[in-house]
Amino acid sequence: MLHALERRLGPRFSVLRVYCYGLCMGTADALPGVSGGTVALLLGFYGRLIAAVTAFTPRRAIDVLRGYDAERRDRAREALLEMDLQFLLPLGVGIVTAVAIIAEAVTVLAESHPLALFGFFIGLIAASAIVLFRTLTFASARHVLSAATGTGIALLVSANVLELPGSGPLLIFLSGALAVSAMILPGVSGSLILILLGQYVFLSGELSAFLGSIRDLLLADGTLAAVADPGATVVVFVAGGVVGLVSIARIVRHALDRQRELTLLFLVGLIAGSVPAPLHNVAEAHPLTIDVLLQTAVWAGLGALALFALDRLAGGFDPE
């Protein structure tokens, strides 16, 4: 039926389908636990995604930008086709749409129900680590060491023992580079990286404020000054994401090609070590009393059940 509809509607249906892929991928990446890369695998477009992202190079981007020159126009068209922008653009719009919706919800819930929100996140992260570790094997001491290294690094970052260098715009830029590159990797969620770095709530709020200020401006009820402040944060984050896509993501993909099992164990180890990270957000809203910890555990249980149910419906998550 879908194929018949696609033949009837032609390119418009194809764009809509890719946009829906983006919605699914963006929703997964906006919530810690399931990565957008895993969703891409489940929906069958991971190979095309990686090929398109890998084809996005500074040289091809420059060729596109030089398309205003009639003599370079043919090369600009070739570069556009090589980067598969007819796929990346609707996918990207879908991802942005989903992330914007989730960011608004997270901003509201972080203020009104922080215990429920971050307890649920703890369950999602813990369950995803269990699900993904089940797909991997510990065949040697190197495998154990790789997983333990990833877990140890994440635990140290969660405990603020290890911190990224710099703060303010530099930290936002680095967060963008790490989070956006993680978006296309199977097993690791971009939002998980932001939670680990303590930037998830802040950046969700900034994105929500940016979109809200643009809406107000379009309705003649806002000002450019209201757009500028959160807009600067969003621009710095996106710039970091672009750099991450053309650098960090490629490095990790190379590592996956060379040492698949060890790299995957390290990545899933990062997820396992990130389990306690949302507790910092709980502690900011409530003293960590026995009652608060019990309520957090209940919400974590619900988050874990949701992830296990999704795993069952999907027929199992494979990190690669």
Residue 219 lies in a domain: yes
Residue 170 lies in a domain: yes
Q: Give the three-class secondary structure for 82.
A: helix
Is there a domain that residue 14 lies in? yes
Note whether 212 and 280 are same-domain residues: yes
Residue reference for tokens 């303010």: 168
The residue out of 39, 63, 97 marking a domain boundary is 97
CB-based contacts of 114, cutoff 8 Å, min separation 6: 281, 282, 284, 285, 286
Q: How does DSSP classify residue 71?
A: G
Let me know if residue 263 belongs to a domain.
Answer: yes
Same domain, 262 and 193: yes
Q: Is residue 112 part of a domain?
A: no
Place of tokens 């507790």: 279
Q: How many CB atoms lie within 10 A of CB 174?
A: 21
Instruction: Give the domain range for residue 56.
Output: 10-97
In eight-state DSSP terms, residue 198 is T
User: Distance (Å, rounded) from C-alpha 32 to C-alpha 189?
Assistant: 6
**d(Cα 113, Cα 195) in Å, to the nearest integer?**
17
Same domain, 127 and 30: no
Q: Is residue 26 part of a domain?
A: yes
Same domain, 211 and 135: yes
Phi, psi of 289 (to 5 degrees): -80, 170
Q: Is there a single domain that holds both residue 68 and residue 173?
A: no
Distance CA 277, CA 157 (A): 8
Residues 174, 252, single domain; the answer is yes
What pLDDT does residue 120 have?
94
Q: Categorize the per-residue pLDDT at 11 as very low, low, confident or very high, splitting at 50, 70 and 90.
A: low
Give pLDDT tens digits for 142-182. 999 999 998 998 888 887 766 666 668 888 999 998 888 87
Q: Which two three-digit tokens encode residue 51?
A: 């090929």
Question: In the predicted model, is pLDDT for residue 132 greater than 50?
Answer: yes
210, 227 in Cβ contact below 8 A?
A: yes
User: Residue 284: its pLDDT value, please?
Assistant: 86
Provide the number of structural domains found in the chain: 2
Q: Tell whether 228 and 307 lie within a shared domain.
A: yes
Give the pLDDT confidence of 60-85 residue by residue, as tens digits: 878 877 877 777 778 888 887 888 88
Residues 285 and 147 in one domain: yes
Q: Are 185 and 191 in contact (CB under 8 A)?
A: no
Within this chain, do residues 147 and 67 fall inside the same structural domain, yes or no? no
Q: Give the count of beta carbons closer than 10 Å to the beta carbon of residue 185.
A: 24
Encode 104-135: b = buried (16+ Cβ within 10 Å), e = exposed. bebbebbeeebbbbbbbbbbbbbbbbbbbbee
pLDDT band at 235 (very low <50, low <70, confident <90, very high): very high
Tell whether 3 is covered by a domain. no
Average pLDDT of the segment spanning 5-10: 52
**45 shares a domain with 137:** no
Does 206 share its domain with 284? yes
Average pLDDT value for residue range 23-27: 88
Task: Please give the sequence-ordered ranges of beta strands (E in DSSP) within the chain, or none if there are none.
Answer: none
Q: Per-residue confidence at 299, pLDDT binned at 50, 70, 90? A: very high
From residue 45, give the alpha-carbon distance in Å to each of 10, 48, 207: 19, 5, 27
Q: Residue 95: which of 45, 170, 169 has the closest Cα?
A: 45
State whether 188 and 300 are in the same domain. Answer: yes
- What's the pTM? 0.79
What pLDDT band is residue 240 in, cutting at 50, 70 and 90?
A: very high
Tell me whether residue 108 is in a domain.
no
The answer to whether 311 touches 231, Cβ cutoff 8 Å, is no
Q: Is the pLDDT of residue 319 over 60?
A: no
Tokens (6 digits) for 134: 């089940």
Whole-number pLDDT of residue 1: 44
